[in-house]
């Protein structure tokens, strides 16, 4: 479901960018378990009303959109369990050369919204509010000298805060007794653990975390968890601990790479799998993948695509153009965010790629 949600959010972002010249963009929200015959009748009445629109182009575009929605509704035997949202209208940027497109989306949860709106923009906010960007994870990488806090949402990593301790190295200098030095060092470590625990409470406690991931070199991360300074609610949210070489922003990336077993269903892991599969195919030169707009378009036209990869960093028009072509051909589409390292690497490859049914010629 995460992939579908990400895909729909990308579509909604594109729909929000569309502006009609007149009130020619039609939005229909159908509540869960609602009688579709009533919706069909309403659309018929709205089409009769639209015949009175004075502007000829606007009148034609509205009627064409309503007819397209009516045709779509005739294919739907009953309302999906969560309801249905339909967007339809002229997306062409050229006056007098209309291009009527339609999108039908089932909400992720039960919707009781009933709406018909003909406007210069699509009404996306009620549907968009039902989706989340992805599960939220707290991130912490640390040792006795440094700690870095972050968040993972979808495929986006955000660095929240970085702490430095006053803990010295393991060996005393200047003739200080080993016992005294060790005692003072242990005290400074405890103080640092308390600071980490308090900072974690401030940064994470009020957030709806799906889990907390902790990493770092050596035993410090485990000693911190067992120290008792971390509040119970956060300790219970720890999904796993991983050994990392770094305790800065690089450590956060490393922590996520080593937590793929925990994050198997999350966007960042799904994206990494696809990007690494693409890079592997390119390196092997097996002709089972292509990338770049021209090559991808050629293989789509030849009905030779199994899965289309689209970077969320592409401009909305191009992104939706390829999405629309792929869905018309029943091709699976996976959107890849620019927010992760793998996603950025894919964007720099051009942001469009395809896994093929048979080797390209």
String of DSSP letters for 4-72 = HHHHHHHHHHHHHH---SSS-EEEEEE-TT--HHHHHHHHHHHHHHHTT-SSHHHHHHHHHHHHHHHHH
Which residue intervals of the chain bear CATH 3.30.420.60? 136-257
> What confidence score (pLDDT) does residue 339 get?
80
Mean pLDDT of 88-115: 91
CATH architecture entry for 2-128: 2-Layer Sandwich (3.30)
pTM: 0.61
- pLDDT for the residue numbered 134: 66
Task: Say what the pLDDT of residue 1 is.
Answer: 37
Q: What is the pLDDT of residue 96?
A: 80
- What element of type H or E holds 195? helix 178-204
pLDDT of residue 358: 94
Task: Give the range among 5-9, 95-99, 169-173, 304-308 with minimum mean pLDDT.
Answer: 169-173
C-beta separation of 17 from 316 below 8 A: yes
Query: The domain 267-356 is classified under which CATH number: 3.30.1330.30, 3.40.640.10, 3.40.190.80, 3.90.340.10?
Result: 3.30.1330.30
Q: How far apart are CA 260 and CA 266, in angstroms?
A: 9
Q: Per DSSP, what are the bridge partners of residue 161?
A: 149
Decide: 227 and 190 in contact? Cβ < 8 Å.
yes
Confidence band, pLDDT 50/70/90 cuts, at residue 2: very low
pLDDT digits (tens, 9 = 90+) for 120-131: 999 999 998 887
Instruction: Express as a percent the part of the chain with pLDDT over 90.
Output: 70
Largest Cα–Cα separation, the chain: 96
Residue 19: is its pLDDT beyond 60?
yes
Whether the CB-CB separation of 267 and 276 falls below 8 Å is answered with no
Looking at 3.30.420.60, 1.20.140.10, 3.40.50.150, 3.30.420.10, the CATH number of the domain 136-257 comes to 3.30.420.60
Q: Has residue 174 got a pLDDT over 60?
A: no
Q: Give pLDDT, residue 234.
A: 96
Residue 191: its pLDDT value, please?
A: 96
The beta-strand segments (E) located in 256-325 are: 289-291, 305-311
Q: Is the pLDDT of residue 3 over 60?
A: no
Is pLDDT at 354 greater than 80 in this prediction? Answer: yes
Across 320-334, average pLDDT: 88
What confidence tier does 6 reach under pLDDT thresholds 50, 70, 90? Answer: low
Q: With contact defined as beta carbons under 8 Å apart, do 21 and 58 qualify?
A: yes
Helix then strand then coil, in percent of the chain rounded to 5, is 40, 20, 35
pLDDT at 95: 80
Is pLDDT larger for residue 1 or for residue 39? 39
Mean pLDDT for the chain overall: 91
Question: Which segments of the chain belong to CATH 3.30.1330.30?
Answer: 267-356
* Confidence bin at 132 (pLDDT 50/70/90): low
pLDDT digits (tens, 9 = 90+) for 30-89: 999 899 999 999 999 999 999 999 999 999 999 999 999 999 999 888 999 999 999 999
How sure is the predictor about 114, in pLDDT bands with cuts at 50, 70 and 90? very high
pLDDT at 360 over 90: no
- pLDDT at res. 168: 84
pLDDT of residue 176: 61
3-state secondary structure of 245: coil
Position 356 pLDDT exceeds 90: yes
Question: pLDDT band at residue 133, thresholds of 50, 70 and 90?
Answer: low
pLDDT digits (tens, 9 = 90+) for 266-304: 878 888 999 999 999 999 999 999 999 999 999 999 999
**Measured distance CA(10)–CA(4) in Å, rounded:** 10
CATH 3.30.960.10 maps onto the chain at 2-128
């Amino acid at each position: 479901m995460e992939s579908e949600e990400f895909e729909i959010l990308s579509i909604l972002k594109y729909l929000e960018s569309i502006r009609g010249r007149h009130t020619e963009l039609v939005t229909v929200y159908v509540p869960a378990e609602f009688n579709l015959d009533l919706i069909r009748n309403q659309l018929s009445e709205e089409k009769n009303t639209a015949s009175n629109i004075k502007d000829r182009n606007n009148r034609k575009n509205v009627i064409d959109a309503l007819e397209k929605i009516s045709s779509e509704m005739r294919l739907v035997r009953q309302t999906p369990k969560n309801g249905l949202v339909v967007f339809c209208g002229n997306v062409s940027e050229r006056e007098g050369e209309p291009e009527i497109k339609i999108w039908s989306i089932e909400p992720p949860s039960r919707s009781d919204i009933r709406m018909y709106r003909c406007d210069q923009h699509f009404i996306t906010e009620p549907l968009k509010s039902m989706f989340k960007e992805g599960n939220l994870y707290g991130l912490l990488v640390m040792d006795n000298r440094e700690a870095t806090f972050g968040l993972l949402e979808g495929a986006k990593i955000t660095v929240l805060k970085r702490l430095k301790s006053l803990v010295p190295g393991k060996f005393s200098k200047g003739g200080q007794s080993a016992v005294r030095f060790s005692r003072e060092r242990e005290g400074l470590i405890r103080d640092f653990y308390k600071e980490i625990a308090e900072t974690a409470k401030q940064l994470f406690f009020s957030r709806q975390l799906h889990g907390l991931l902790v990493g770092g070199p050596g035993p410090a991360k485990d000693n911190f968890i067992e120290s008792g300074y971390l509040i119970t609610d956060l300790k219970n949210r720890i999904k796993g601990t991983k050994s990392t070489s770094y305790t800065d922003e690089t450590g956060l990336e490393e922590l996520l790479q080593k937590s793929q077993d925990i994050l198997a269903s999350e966007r960042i892991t799904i994206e990494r799998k696809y990007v690494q599969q693409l890079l592997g195919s390119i390196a092997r030169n097996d002709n089972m993948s292509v990338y770049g707009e021209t090559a991808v378009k050629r293989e789509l036209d030849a009905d030779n695509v199994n899965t289309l990869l689209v970077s969320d960093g592409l401009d909305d028009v191009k992104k939706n153009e390829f999405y629309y072509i792929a869905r018309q051909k029943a091709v699976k589409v996976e959107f890849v965010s620019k927010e992760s390292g793998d996603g950025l690497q894919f964007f720099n490859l051009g942001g469009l790629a395809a896994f093929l049914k048979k080797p390209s010629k």
